[in-house]
Amino acid sequence: MGIAYRRGRGSRFPELNEVYSKYFPPDEKPPARITVEVKGLPKGALVEIGVIAQKA
């Protein structure tokens, strides 16, 4: 599962989805994620993503 923290208003989901899809094969369902809008992130970042993974 992943948690994505987004800075600022407006829909950046298409951009986030495009990058996210590059890391998962198109024939597999990507892991669940939660997206949270925040006022600010360290070093002015637009997105911060935290992931919990388990090797299959």
Instruction: Please tell me the predicted confidence (pLDDT) of residue 10.
Output: 67
pLDDT for 22-32, tens place per residue? Answer: 888 878 888 88
Residue 42 resides in a domain: yes
For residue 42, the 8-state DSSP code is G
Residue 13 resides in a domain: yes
- Any bridge partners for residue 7, and if so which? 38
Within 10 angstroms of residue 6's Cβ, the number of other Cβ atoms is 21
Mean pLDDT score across all residues of the chain: 82
Q: Which domain holds residue 42?
A: 2-51
Specify whether the CB–CB gap between 47 and 6 falls below 8 A.
yes
Q: List C-alpha distances in Å: 24 to 5, 27, 32, 38, 45.
A: 20, 8, 12, 26, 23
Instruction: Please tell me the predicted confidence (pLDDT) of residue 25.
Output: 80
Over residues 39-43, the mean pLDDT reads 90
The token duo for 39 is 């006022």
pTM above 0.85, yes or no: no
Residue linked to tokens 């298409």: 14
Q: At residue 11, does pLDDT exceed 80?
A: no
What total of structural domains would you count in the chain?
1
Residue 25 resides in a domain: yes
Residue 56 resides in a domain: no
